[in-house]
């Protein structure tokens, strides 16, 4: 459900699904990302990295999908892969 929690930067309209393949004469404006949408991965990445930066994680210079936080003598490393945190 990671993608479904990410707001979109751009305005996107879709044709809603219909029973029996009929066409509706309406469009839906997306408020959040959906699976299968090209922008979903980027929207989720921006959402999760913004949160991690707010709690003092820093992105690795050589790989922005690796975020590191120093907690005293402990080093916390978070890896982002598609919609997973490792």
* pLDDT single digits (tens) 2-32: 888 889 989 999 888 777 767 767 899 999 9
* pLDDT single digits (tens) 34-82: 888 998 999 999 999 999 999 999 999 999 999 999 999 999 999 999 8
Tokens of 47: 């959402």
- pLDDT value of residue 17: 78
| Contact yes or no for 31/9 (Cβ under 8 A) | no
- pLDDT value of residue 69: 98
Which residues, in sequence order, are CB contacts of 82 under 8 Å at separation 6+? Answer: 41
pTM of the full structure: 0.78
Q: Which of 14, 78, 1, 13 is nearest to 40 (CA)?
A: 1
């Amino acid at each position: 459900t990671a993608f479904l929690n990410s707001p979109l930067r751009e305005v996107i309209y879709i044709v809603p699904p219909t029973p029996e393949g009929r066409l509706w004469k309406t469009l839906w404006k997306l408020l959040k990302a959906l699976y299968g949408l090209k922008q979903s991965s980027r929207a989720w990445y921006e959402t999760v990295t913004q949160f991690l930066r707010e709690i003092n994680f820093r992105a690795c210079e050589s790989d922005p999908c690796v975020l590191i936080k120093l907690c005293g003598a402990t080093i916390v490393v978070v890896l982002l892969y598609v919609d997973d945190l490792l």
